Amino acid sequence: MYKISYEDELRLARTLLRACGMPGEDADIAGSVVTHSDFTGVYSHGISRLTGYLRLFRGGAYNPRPQVKVIKDGPAVLELDCDNALGVVTVNRAFDMLLPKARAQGIAICTGRRSSNIGCASYYGWRAAENDVIALVCCNTYLSMAPFGGAERLIGTNPIVVGVPTDEEYPIVMDISTSGVAMGKIKAYEREGRELPAGWANDAHGRPTSDPAKAYTVLPIGGHKGYGLAVMVDIVSGVLSGAGFGREIGSAMKRESENTGFCMIMIDPAHFMPIADFKRRADEYARMMKQSRPAEGVKEIFLPGEIEYRLFEKNRSEGIEVSEALQSELLGLAVELSVVPPGTDFAGLVEAARPSAG
Amino acid sequence: MYKISYEDELRLARTLLRACGMPGEDADIAGSVVTHSDFTGVYSHGISRLTGYLRLFRGGAYNPRPQVKVIKDGPAVLELDCDNALGVVTVNRAFDMLLPKARAQGIAICTGRRSSNIGCASYYGWRAAENDVIALVCCNTYLSMAPFGGAERLIGTNPIVVGVPTDEEYPIVMDISTSGVAMGKIKAYEREGRELPAGWANDAHGRPTSDPAKAYTVLPIGGHKGYGLAVMVDIVSGVLSGAGFGREIGSAMKRESENTGFCMIMIDPAHFMPIADFKRRADEYARMMKQSRPAEGVKEIFLPGEIEYRLFEKNRSEGIEVSEALQSELLGLAVELSVVPPGTDFAGLVEAARPSAG
């Protein structure tokens, strides 16, 4: 087991992403997001993704050196064609471009088409809070849900993230998928030989199943309500953006362009009241929830995103463990990309990344 | 049993609301919303609400003749103080004021403070679709949910509505609360002596309960996910608007000003592509879902809001039944307000409303 610091993982991720063919600035952005993901405990979108990214770059599904095109640039509207870039990179660029519009107008919207997986979405919520704006980000994703009452995969897990700035309290950041669980979790249950809890998945005929091997679609939260939310994410991220939706969404694994899309809506609270007042009110809200009477057996009430902020602080000061399996995977990638010579150990790889991208 | 036509209910509702002290235009708006509610099958927000409205007007919780103040009027931002008006009226006025801003800027936002119950929220989704814009409306409401892991009532059912225009297909209108069920449904189970299904409610100690008499809080959809959504509705409808939140929300039943708030975000798709293209794409989306393979035992897949549109068409052509109980309640109200003399029957009341507000 190797314990890696935040700074070391950030440099390692950036170094490997540059070696994958990404321009320096884009690699820096993507490196920040994967490191944020690991240090907030979301390992599924962390540095373990890098070998997958390389495969997708090589297969042609993702473009490491995209030419992002601005289709529309109005005072409050931004419309992007992302040229099959990593969604992680374009959503951050969209954030940068949207911020001055939201500051000027009070609210602004950006859509992106020909996009791809946006990575650990809480990152955009954190950025919103750091910049004193409220941001909502959602995207459509590869297909794993059926329409309510249906049996075909036509909708993704379609996540929604909202970030809210506070003053002294942790920012409030909601990061949810509109499905109960992701397909990845079903696969983990299959590997572990476990039965699925009720309400997680249906089989290919749309019948409830507890057998992970037979699970074909995951189910929305709250039945028709989560279905409604997922549809609305499709509408603004897919239909409005000019991206694909339903069967038009490509499988990156089959070397197809995903053509998923995203939508970001940014609100500057300073247009409604002095920003200090808004942040004080958000603090009051958080404290009222936090200090309220917990349910029997519950020690502490958390605001959305609070657990991730706390985990990040702990991990930031202590570092996080990198499993043997992940060490060899990253070493294999680094050798393949000639970042280090064969035979280097993981400590050597971390060391090698230090000067080049620090 | 009396069958009432759409036009007759509309005139009756408007007549009674004027008699309650509302100005003609406001009464017309509120009458439209309650009639829409009944004719889309949402009887809980229909004409049966009118006696409650009168009680709230008289108790001072709701203001029948409010002076709505515009606090901020920017190119894309509108901030209202609703002066304890019926939310039903102010959300419609907000819609009218926001529409030209969304047309000009592509996106615009309105918040309202010192508001109250917004009634049958799908109405605003229908208006959006009729006006070729996408609108999201949400509001905070009287308290019925606890924070996730909590036992105190601090959050409302906090509904979210989104309306989307289409071309030939039914508009897509999502109208959901962020709680699994409303308190009203729990009360109905209590009256019928039925046990609550698992996951509907907790008791005052935050423990799951199947006893409707012990139900103290209703639960969010999808656990922490629905909690996150409800919090974000509170943030934009309560914190950002300058309205109350949590314990600051008053009980109209106790003659207090509710001071709930709402938030409306309106997007004009014509800023992203020709509106005909957007509506064609929305049609394609709806058809793809609609025509996909249903789950075993399911006859038809519905898009969000489709069932209400169809029910409205059926009810519009056939009329809807008014129960004996509701007839006498409305007659009692009409007599109390001197709309008709004592002894008039329901048919006479409907007849009396015809010339005056037609």
Is the pLDDT score of B72 beyond 50? yes
B344: Cα separation from own chain's centroid:
31
The span from the CA of B106 to the CA of A269, in Å, is 19
Q: Tell me what the mean pLDDT of segment B91-116 comes to.
A: 98
Determine, for residues A235 and B74 on separate chains, whether the beta-carbon distance falls below 8 Å: no
Residue among A265, A264, A270 nearest A106 (CA): A270
pLDDT of residue B357: 45
Enter the DSSP assignment of A132.
T
Q: Does A282 reach chain B within 8 Å, measured CB to CB? A: yes
pLDDT of residue B124: 98
Confidence of residue A255 (pLDDT cuts 50, 70, 90): confident
Cβ partners under 8 Å of residue B24, min gap 6: B18
Percent of chain A with pLDDT over 70: 99
CB-CB neighbours of A223 under 10 Å:
16
Chain B nearest CA to A314, separation (Å): 23
Is the pLDDT score of B258 beyond 50? yes
Residue among B84, B63, B74 nearest B20 (CA): B63
pLDDT of residue A358: 44
Determine, for residues B289 and A79 on separate chains, whether the beta-carbon distance falls below 8 Å: no
Confidence of residue A254 (pLDDT cuts 50, 70, 90): confident
Burial (Cβ within 10 Å: 0-12, 13-18, ≥19) of residue A236:
buried
pLDDT of residue A192: 95
Q: Does A106 reach chain B within 8 Å, measured CB to CB? A: yes
Q: CA of A261: how far to CAs of A78, A135, A221, A236, B198, in Å?
A: 13, 17, 22, 9, 37
Q: Tell me what the mean pLDDT of segment A252-257 comes to.
A: 84
Residue among A272, A5, A316, A43 nearest A165 (CA): A272
Q: Does A273 reach chain B within 8 Å, measured CB to CB? A: yes
Enter the DSSP assignment of B237.
I
Q: Does B166 reach chain A within 8 Å, measured CB to CB? A: no
Q: Tell me what the mean pLDDT of segment A115-128 comes to.
A: 96
Q: Does A174 reach chain B within 8 Å, measured CB to CB? A: yes
* Cross-chain CB nearest to A278 (options B224, B240, B246): B240
Is the pLDDT score of A226 beyond 70? yes
Question: What is the length of chain B?
Answer: 358
**Model pLDDT for residues B173-230, shown as the tens digit of each residue:** 999 999 999 888 999 999 999 999 999 999 999 999 999 999 999 999 999 999 999 9
Assembly ipTM: 0.97
Chain B contact set for A227 (CB, 8 A): 304
Give chain B's mean pLDDT.
Answer: 96
* Cross-chain CB nearest to B207 (options A106, A172, A295): A295
pLDDT of residue A357: 45
Burial (Cβ within 10 Å: 0-12, 13-18, ≥19) of residue A1:
exposed
The span from the CA of A299 to the CA of B149, in Å, is 9
Domains of chain A: 1-59+321-358 (1.10.1530.10), 62-179+220-291 (3.30.1370.60), 181-216 (3.30.60.50)
**Which one-letter amino acid corresponds to residue B312?**
F
pLDDT of residue A239: 98
Phi and psi (nearest 5°) for A196?
-80, 140
Cβ partners under 8 Å of residue A18, min gap 6: A24, A27, A357
Confidence of residue A251 (pLDDT cuts 50, 70, 90): confident
The span from the CA of B300 to the CA of B308, in Å, is 15
Is the pLDDT score of B309 beyond 60? yes
User: Using CB atoms and an 8 Å cut-off, which of residues 253-272 of chain B contact chain A?
Assistant: 265, 267, 269, 271-272
Chain B contact set for A294 (CB, 8 A): 149-151, 206
Determine, for residues A269 and B240 on separate chains, whether the beta-carbon distance falls below 8 Å: yes
Q: Is A260 left (phi over 0), alpha (psi -120 to 50) or beta?
A: beta
**Model pLDDT for residues A294-340, shown as the tens digit of each residue:** 999 999 999 999 999 999 999 999 999 999 999 999 999 999 999 99
Chain B contact set for A205 (CB, 8 A): 295-296
Sheet containing B160-164, strands listed edge to edge, beginning at the edge strand earlier in sequence: B69-73, B77-81, B107-115, B260-267, B134-139, B160-164, B172-176
CB–CB of B200/B218 below 8 Å? yes
- Which residue of chain B has the CA closest to A111? B272
Chain B contact set for A228 (CB, 8 A): 162, 174-176, 304
Is the pLDDT score of A256 beyond 90? no
The span from the CA of A231 to the CA of B272, in Å, is 19
Q: Does A152 reach chain B within 8 Å, measured CB to CB? A: yes
Is the pLDDT score of B358 beyond 70? no
Owner of token pair 């500051």: A103
**Which one-letter amino acid corresponds to residue A211?**
D
Give chain A's mean pLDDT.
Answer: 96
The span from the CA of B281 to the CA of A346, in Å, is 50
